Structure 1
Amino acid sequence: MKRKLLMKSGLLILVSLGFCYSLSAQLTISVPRTFASLDNSIDDSDPAVGIFEYAGNLTIATGGNITNNDVGGSGNSAGDITIVVTGSLTLQAGAAILAENNINGGSGGDITITVGGNFTMATGAVISSSKTSGSGDTGITGDISIDVTGPVNISAGAAIRANGTGTSGDISITGDRNIVVAGTVESVSGMTGPGGPQPQGAGSIFIITNCNIVIEATGKVSSFGQDPGADLVHLEACTVTINGLVESTGEGHATPAIPTKLVPPFRPDKPSESTAGVEVWANTIVINPTGQVNADLSLGAGKRSWIDLFARNNIIISGAGSGAVYAVHANVGGNGGEGGIITAKSIAGSVITSGQAIQSNGFGSGIRRGGPVTVEANNNLNFTGSLFQANGANFGGLFTFRASTGNINMDNTTSISVTGSLGAVNNTACGTIGNATYSAGAIVVSLPGVCTPAPVLPVYVTLPPASCVQLSNCDQNITLPVSFVSFTARRINSAVSLTWVTGTEINNQGFEIQRQLKNSNLFETVGFVNSRAVGGNSTSELQYSFSDPNSFADASLYRIKQMDLDGKFKYSEVRLINGIKERVSILTYPNPSSDGNVTVIFGSDDKKEIALSDISGRLVQKWSGYNNQQLKLTGLRSGTYILQVTDPVSMEKEIRKIVVSQ
């Protein structure tokens, strides 16, 4: 059982408490409560002052919260909150745990949460130690530490925040099972001031588990700092899948007075002037087309940013198409911007890229240069159809590609750009090296037939054990190593054509096609497509299609149930198809809902403004610029809700009524 909690004072080891996982006791907080009113209350099983421990499952319902905010005049700070739950902890929609400083001169409180079962945050739930006033004063934001034995699920629209007008707090989320982030985990600093040494800006974020991490398309993990920059964002798991945004970024043009976790001694091999950095340590790393790893600095003249992707097995970077943001980017601007340091190493597998994969440009004014990018694998580098950039107006960057025992597979669809003087590309492979398209003037050195030792990682890096994918206590619905690159559905006369692409397949049997009619709450199976992967395993993109006869007058929903050879499965997102006679742009199911969970399906991925209100008109949650085709509402209490969807261009509104009856 791994327990790592990284605080500002250094490294803290928290020993597992050995909690029982299934307990029948239940406490529900449905009204605002101060932490002081819970501490040493009848429900508190810990006699110590400052710790609230509940022996059972704790639910903070909609309308409920636990607070220890600052009170009184200027200079007062928020108090700390320590919660121990031996069962599961659930924050329903709109619930909150707050230790905020809202008056000048004080600090936010630390929040420490230990959970023996599941940890779930529904849409609109918030945990915050933020400091919301007093720009640049001596007060700081509190740290947030969450340690969970069971699975962690942070829903879309939920947020964990350690933001501040000055120095922001550190956040750590550690666990033994899967961690899914569909909401926001952020430490944002508004610290501004003159150049030279300043207090630290944004805080660090560490997410570590013995199983898998999934950052969903709506998910954001962000350390964002203005003048003094950001701090380290660290993801560590068996498999890390990034469908959303992972970033350490900001202006970053002032040096923090106290070294952050980006620089020595914490990371002894990194430049001391670093003000942004992301590292991912895993057995397998998958970055899908909607995912980003960002370490850009907008005003980082003289400062550096870096990204490390370290894996035992494959690293898969699937960038989006032309014109989109690169999947992995560390661009640095300002007077004399130099692109960030990007390193991707697989010590026993391959690195596979597609689309706009890696970018490290230097921009702004003065002397600008592209950054150094290193990609190494023990086996192959598969770069077909990939784009790489390390451009500078004055000096190009340096790409170093090395395949220790395999080939560098690329062709004329592989574009490598090092625009600027002295831009260079060094290719070394034990086998063959393909012919890529290089920018004009690039200095290219290719050494085929040169076998080298496996890539070496920094001495402080510890990858998860090779056997971690076999852990039986990981959630089966997100551990399956089959990644969907895309899934589309469209009507063609009296049939519906489904097409989907997988990026990787391991142990895959095939795909069950399921359809749900408008007035039904049940999906039915209408077909099955076998895996095209040999033995169910593939590291290349595979395309699939299925045609379903459909002459129904009303709308239909489609999804894909991906089946493993051992019987495990997971579902794709849901797609909405209009009927022969009816055109529908929004569909909700199940509606009515018996468990407080409702899925909203949109007919397109156009941006939209969404507001969910209760029957009295009170706003429950809102989303701005939402452009996914699926929205999951979780943890809703019994009652009637109004969902309003507005087109931001035409300002046309659509209304749907949602009924929850538990």
Structure 2
Amino acid sequence: MKFFTSTLALVLIATVSFAQSVCPDYFRRNNGNGACSDGQLKLYYTTCPPSIPIIDSVYSNGVKTNITFASPDASKCSSQGFIGYCVVGGNMPPASTWAIYFHNPGSTDPFGCNVPEGGILPIGIKTFTATRNNNSVILNWQTAVEINARLFEIQKKSGNSFVTVGSIAAANKETGSSYSYTDISKEQTTAEYRLKMVSSDAAIAYSEIRVVRSAGASFDFTIFPNPATRNTKIALGDITQPSTIQVIDNSGRQVRSISVRSSSTIELSNLQPGLYRVRIVTNNSGEALTKTLTIVQ
């Protein structure tokens, strides 16, 4: 799953000699619940770390605190994005940013991270689809986590910008929720949609773009940005059967081949400067569409 946040960038504050060390995005805490009677620390990650870190110490304003934590509980990382640590001694400091030092199991190499509390807009989008049904476009999305969430605005491309066509209040459940919105659309052009996510303190983040073809039209896709510098994305429209994305360089050599089965956003990375043809072919019917991509220095 992927998380769309406006949190502060993390700074690695110690030399990392263990290749799998990963810093959390932000932390949240409480003063005690059923699982941890003396309090619990939750460290949230965009992607669960391959090794579950063990906390060695916590510093607040440059001063080491007296707090100690139990072994980590990673049972909720894949579903809710956090690793939990029960307090077993001392008190959690009030500072909004902690310097946390860890080590990974099987390693004695410490690493440290500056970790902010809360996160302005931690809303984890688990799935987001847009599908045409005659003269309507049905958007469905599911969140993996919602903290401090207030509103989802459904936005549609108009000219060179996106405009809001509807909104849904966020359930703001830490375990996530499911949503659906129907946009009446009789347009004879390809439509592009995204979600604008708004927190209770007016912070904003955006989802990936979903492309939907017009009623009765062939499938379509969008390349963005284009021109690009090495990396770009392909937003696929209503693909309802197995298809193949082909990336062909200016000499006619195929440099990428990607199989897809449904509407999604595909990232193309590390492309050399030059002119490319991006071609999508439906495997069953052979229907194909080609567009030009420019990679600049």
TM-score (norm. length: structure 1): 0.30
Say which one has the larger Rg.
1
Matched-pair contact (CA < 8 Å) for 2:192–2:212: yes
Give the direction of change, closer, same or farther, for the CA distance of 1:3–1:651 in structure 2 (3 Å limit): farther
Residue by residue over 1:467-510, the C-alpha shift from the partner in whole angstroms, topping out at 9 and shown as x without a partner, is 82339xxxx8xx84221232222234433222222121111122
Matched-pair contact (CA < 8 Å) for 1:554–1:581: no
Residue 116 of structure 2 corresponds to 469
| Aligned mates of 2:145, 2:54 — CA distance in 1 | 16
Structure number with the higher strand fraction is: 2
Cα drift, residue 463 of structure 1? 11
Residue 240 (structure 1) aligned to one of 42, 45, 48:
45
Residue 631 of structure 1 corresponds to 266
| Aligned mates of 1:498, 1:651 — CA distance in 2 | 26
| Aligned mates of 1:659, 1:574 — CA distance in 2 | 18
Residue 486 of structure 1 corresponds to 127
Residue 3 of structure 1 corresponds to 15
The residue type equivalent to 1:532 in the other structure is A
Residue 51 (structure 2) aligned to one of 260, 279, 286:
279
Cα drift, residue 655 of structure 1? 3.6
Residue 310 (structure 1) aligned to one of 72, 77, 80:
72
Residue 195 (structure 2) aligned to one of 560, 578, 593:
560
Matched-pair contact (CA < 8 Å) for 2:155–2:165: yes
Cα drift, residue 531 of structure 1? 1.2
| Aligned mates of 1:463, 1:605 — CA distance in 2 | 49
| Aligned mates of 1:582, 1:600 — CA distance in 2 | 19
Matched-pair contact (CA < 8 Å) for 1:501–1:542: yes
Matched-pair contact (CA < 8 Å) for 1:2–1:210: no
Give the direction of change, closer, same or farther, for the CA distance of 1:490–1:627 in structure 2 (3 Å limit): closer
Cα drift, residue 611 of structure 1? 2.3
| Aligned mates of 1:468, 1:240 — CA distance in 2 | 11
Matched-pair contact (CA < 8 Å) for 1:591–1:660: no
Matched-pair contact (CA < 8 Å) for 1:643–1:657: yes
Instruction: Supply the RMSD in Å over aligned alpha carbons.
Output: 4.3
Matched-pair contact (CA < 8 Å) for 1:640–1:657: no
Give the aligned length.
235
- Any idea what SS the aligned residue of 2:143 has? strand
Give the direction of change, closer, same or farther, for the CA distance of 1:634–1:347 in structure 2 (3 Å limit): closer
| Aligned mates of 1:466, 1:634 — CA distance in 2 | 28
Identity %: 21
The residue type equivalent to 1:5 in the other structure is S
Matched-pair contact (CA < 8 Å) for 1:281–1:463: no
* 2:185 corresponds to 1:544: no
The residue type equivalent to 1:208 in the other structure is V
Cα drift, residue 659 of structure 1? 3.8
Give the direction of change, closer, same or farther, for the CA distance of 1:460–1:592 in structure 2 (3 Å limit): closer
Cα drift, residue 609 of structure 1? 3.2
Residue 208 (structure 1) aligned to one of 22, 31, 46:
22
| Aligned mates of 2:259, 2:224 — CA distance in 1 | 25
Residue 507 of structure 1 corresponds to 148
| Aligned mates of 1:529, 1:516 — CA distance in 2 | 18
Matched-pair contact (CA < 8 Å) for 2:224–2:234: no
Cα drift, residue 630 of structure 1? 1.0
Residue by residue over 1:161-201, the C-alpha shift from the partner in whole angstroms, topping out at 9 and shown as x without a partner, is xxxxxxxxxxx2xxxxxxxxxxxxxxxxxxxxxxxxxxxxx
| Aligned mates of 1:458, 1:590 — CA distance in 2 | 41
Q: Structure 2, unaligned stretches of length 5 or more?
A: 1-12, 27-41, 56-70, 88-103
Residue 528 of structure 1 corresponds to 167
Residue 234 (structure 2) aligned to one of 600, 610, 615:
600
- Any idea what SS the aligned residue of 1:310 has? coil
Give the direction of change, closer, same or farther, for the CA distance of 1:634–1:345 in structure 2 (3 Å limit): closer
